[in-house]
Structures are given as C-alpha cells and as structure tokens.
C-alpha cells in the first residue's frame, strides 16, 4: 500500500512504531495532492511549506518522547474554519483576503494533538449549497466521476478524503453539509450532537444549526478525531459540558440487540429506487448480525425542509450583516455615499445563493412577517424534536438514506428549490440538534450510496458501532485509483 492509502489510526500506529516519519507521510500526501487535485479540485489552498515544517517538528517531538494521538498525521480543514496565518475565505469574494489572527478551537486542539494541517478545502460560499458549485473560486469534482458534483457544502473535504489526498478532513454541517457530500463521495462523515464540538472560529452561517465534524474513510478514524476535538470550550457558550472518550476498539463490538427504526417518511416519494434498495439491503445485513429492525414514523418530518430554510436564512441574514465594506470583508472601490458603499460592497462580495438567503432571511424577520414565518418555523422545530424524542423511547438509532439520489451532474439542478430538496433527509437532524453519521453502504449506477444513522443526543458511540457494521458488510468502497 502507498502511504496515502492509510487511514488516521493506521498512520498513527506506523509513526508510533517508528516505521515511517511524519515528513515521509506529509511529502507523500502533498505529492498525491499535486497529482490528483488537478482533476478533483478539492483544495483552495495547500500550505506545502507550513505542512512540511509542522511534520519536521512532529518528528523531532517524537524523538523527544512525545506521543500525542495525532502526532505527525496530516489533516485538511474546510475553508470556513479559522486557521491562524492562513487564509480563511469561506469560498467567497467577500473574504478573499481574510487571514485570521487566531485558530478555531478545533484547529487548536488538532495542533495540540500533533496533527499537520496541509491546507484549506473548497466549499459552497459561506456553506450555502449542496453541490460546491457555489464556490466563488473553483469547481470541485467527485473523485468517482469527474462529471458529478461532490455534494456540499463541505464538498472539498469529502472529495479530498475520498481521493486519498488526506486520511481525514474537517467540515461543517448546518443542514447536511457533512453527511450529504460524504454520501456522494463514499466517505464516512459525522455530524455530532449540537454542542459536542466548539464552534469558536467557525465562520457562522446559522448559529443554532451549525456543527463542525470529521470526514474519514473508516469509523475508528472518526472516533479518534472526536476524542481530540470534542469537549467544552469557554470561548463557545453553546458548547456542552463534559467530554466522552470513545474506545476505538468498542467501535467494532457489533450490533447484536441494537433496536433500529426505519422512518417511513425517509423512504418515500423523491427517494430513488436504487438508493432505497441499496439501503434496505444494508439494513437486512444488520438484521443478520442480530439487530432488531422495525418500521416507524416521524410525521412532522415533511415540514422540516420549509422550517429549516426559514430558520437558517433568518440566522444567516443576521450573521452576515457584519460584512458591510467598513469593518472587514470586501470593500467597493467606487461609491457615492455610505448607503451606496454598503450596497455595492455586499453586491460585489456575495454570490447569488448567499444573496438569495440573506433576502429570504431578512423578509421572514421583518415586521408583519415574523410571526407568520420565523415564529411558526420555531414551533415546527419543537414538533420535529418531539417526534425524535418519542422514537428514541423505543429505538436506539434510526436509519435512512442520507440523500435521495447518488451524486448528480454539474449544472443538473439549476432550480434552487430542486437543489434544496437534496437536503430533505438531513435537515431534520440539525433542527433537532441530534448526532448523525453517513456511511457508504453500496453502489448504485457505479456511484456510492450513503446510509444515515441518527442517534440520541450525545450518543455518538452507538452510531459508531452501527456505522462500522455497515461499512464492514459493504466491503471496500474506493474510487478508482488514478
């Protein structure tokens, strides 16, 4: 096996045994990025010099007796997560030249654990999109088929992991932005419980929905990254107290006795027959391993998409108001007065999808419409959460497809509403603040199908057991090595 084919835990083990150095691994991955990313386009910025320096430092630290869990392991970071001294653009012209003076808490914790940050990955502008076609700078292709999208908004992170350019990457998930691209690219992608991981240093889209999470090619790697990143943070008042350390061996303890609910609403109209059949096939394999499977219902799920786009757009309107051409961000060169400066700076700096959501959010928060839209959406949010609470009185986890379809072609979904429907199976999880993981369970038409496992709040460990069982029964799913 080539070095770029190993996972996080495997590389950490090789490094610990002294069989390879971080410098060797990092150079191999940087060379892989240089070769493969010409076609994939996963990275907006590769910090070759900084990565090699960090790798050298990791090798020296190991010689000095240090043994952090990620010491010398390369990782990529989505470009809406702040990295000190390295551009964080959110794939937007608005922040094209922004260099943060600090690290996000998750980046700080990765570095403290010895990780080598190799670069920043492409995304939909300000995390608004389901295909990574909304990036202001470049297009990212799906490693399985360069004519297909990688999903979004964390498309660059999913693609670089699937293409074996890095063993793991960070993304953010507001309505499915980790799970949907993980599904499209055949990676494992976890959206943790809201509050499990600090959001400090994540450029805000919708603050009550956003959550940072990892991509990897196996479940143990995801669990290891969670051990490093999760836990309370005094810089984020919404981070949850307490910290759970996941036993990487227990991930493989099996699913015997696990009670699984299949919400009928998640297998209904709009979900392709191929996707349904592939997910049902994976569930039957779990039954053979001893899991107990029943059909159930989440009746308010049909309202989730409408509620999500009202809530998320309202919060985006508020969060993005700070980009005014004065304090920071893009500033128009020509303007007549202060109002014109605001208008021109925001018009030039933001792309179409971001403008669309700002306008929608401003509308639903405006006088006369607040109660009819935003307040009503918050009430529906409670009903959706109550649905899940009732289901988890009976079931340990819920299983569904991650996305209604496999990866679609570039330009195929030009209608915004059609694009929004790509998130119909993932947004309820964010609305309820629950943990969920997407794991590849098979192929349909030669493209990966993601199976979504939804769990109780702060019960990621049960998700890991289920996800690992799915992955083991599905076999090795990797795009053709090119």
- Residue 246 to residue 249: CA distance in whole angstroms: 9
Strands 447-455 and 436-444: antiparallel
Active site residue 177: yes
| Torsion 230-233-236-241 (CA) sign | positive
Give the bridge partners for 121, in sequence order. 43, 78
CB 284 within 8 Å of CB 278? no
Helices (H), 102-171: 105-112, 155-162
Q: Tell me the backbone φ, ψ of residue 481, rounded to 5 degrees.
A: -70, 120
Which helix (H) or strand (E) is 75 found in, with range? strand 74-78
Show the tokens assigned to 15. Answer: 């490094």
Show the tokens assigned to 195. Answer: 């509050």
Catalytic residue chosen out of the listed positions 164, 177, 198, 312: 177
Task: Output DSSP code: residue 370.
Answer: I
Q: Is the peptide bond before 265 cis (omega within 30 degrees of 0)?
A: no
- Residue 260 to residue 292: CA distance in whole angstroms: 6
CB 465 within 8 Å of CB 253? yes
Number of C-beta neighbours around residue 445 at 10 A: 12
Q: Nearest to residue 160, comparing CAs of 252, 45, 308, 274?
A: 45
Q: Nearest to residue 351, comparing CAs of 141, 94, 42?
A: 94
User: Is residue 194 left, alpha or beta, with left meaning phi > 0 and alpha meaning psi from -120 to 50?
Assistant: beta
Q: What is the CA radius of gyration of the chain?
A: 21
CB 80 within 8 Å of CB 172? yes
Active site residue 138: no
- Residue 225 to residue 222: CA distance in whole angstroms: 5
Catalytic residue chosen out of the listed positions 153, 183, 301, 403: 153
Active site residue 153: yes
Catalytic residue chosen out of the listed positions 21, 22, 78, 465: 78
Task: Please state, in angstroms and as integers, the Cα–Cα distance from residue 53 to each residue in 72, 100, 116, 424, 471, following that order.
Answer: 11, 20, 9, 43, 35
Residues belonging to the active site? 78, 153, 177
């Amino acid at each position: 096996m080539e070095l770029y084919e190993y996972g996080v835990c495997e590389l950490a083990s090789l490094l610990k045994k002294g069989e390879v150095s971080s410098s060797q691994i990092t150079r191999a991955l940087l060379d892989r990025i240089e070769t493969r990313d010409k076609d994939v386009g996963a990275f907006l910025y590769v910090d070759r010099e900084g990565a090699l320096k960090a790798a050298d430092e990791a090798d020296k630290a190991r010689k000095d007796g240090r043994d952090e869990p990620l010491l010398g392991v390369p990782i990529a970071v989505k470009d809406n997560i702040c990295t000190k001294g390295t551009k964080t653009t959110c794939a937007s012209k608005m922040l094209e030249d922004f260099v943060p003076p600090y690290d996000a808490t998750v980046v700080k914790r990765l570095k403290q654990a010895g990780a080598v940050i190799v670069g920043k990955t492409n995304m939909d502008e300000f995390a608004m999109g389901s295909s990574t076609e909304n990036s202001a700078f470049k297009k990212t292709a799906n490693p399985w088929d360069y004519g297909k999208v990688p999903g979004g908004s964390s498309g660059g992170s999913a693609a670089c992991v699937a293409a074996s350019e890095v063993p793991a990457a960070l993304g953010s998930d507001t309505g499915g932005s980790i799970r949907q691209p993980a599904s499209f690219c055949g990676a494992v992608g976890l959206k943790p419980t809201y509050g499990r991981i600090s959001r400090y240093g994540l450029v805000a889209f919708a603050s009550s929905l956003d959550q940072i999470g990892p991509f990897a090619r196996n479940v143990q790697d995801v669990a290891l990254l969670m051990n490093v990143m999760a836990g309370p943070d005094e810089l984020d008042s919404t981070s949850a107290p307490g910290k759970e350390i996941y036993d990487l061996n227990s991930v493989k303890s099996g699913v015997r006795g696990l009670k699984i609910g299949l919400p009928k609403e998640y297998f209904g109209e709009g979900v392709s027959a191929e996707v349904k059949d592939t997910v049902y096939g994976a569930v039957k394999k779990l039954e053979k391993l001893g899991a107990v499977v029943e059909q159930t219902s989440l009746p308010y799920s049909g309202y989730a998409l409408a509620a999500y786009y009202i809530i998320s757009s309202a919060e985006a309107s508020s969060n993005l108001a700070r980009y005014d051409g004065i304090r920071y961000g893009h500033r128009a060169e020509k303007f007549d007065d202060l109002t014109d400066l605001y208008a021109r700076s925001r018009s030039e700096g933001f792309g179409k999808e971001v403008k669309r959501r700002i306008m929608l959010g401003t509308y639903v928060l405006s006088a006369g419409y607040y109660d009819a839209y935003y307040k009503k959406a918050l009430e529906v949010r409670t009903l959706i959460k109550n649905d899940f609470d009732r289901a988890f009185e009976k079931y340990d986890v819920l299983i569904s497809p991650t996305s209604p379809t496999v990866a679609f072609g570039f330009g195929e979904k030009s209608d915004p509403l059609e694009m929004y429907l790509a998130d119909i199976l993932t947004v309820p999880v964010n609305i309820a603040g629950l943990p969920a993981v997407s794991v590849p369970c098979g192929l349909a038409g030669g493209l990966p199908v993601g199976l979504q496992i939804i769990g109780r709040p702060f019960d990621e460990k049960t998700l890991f057991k289920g996800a690992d069982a799915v992955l083991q029964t599905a076999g090795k799913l990797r795009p053709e090595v090119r």
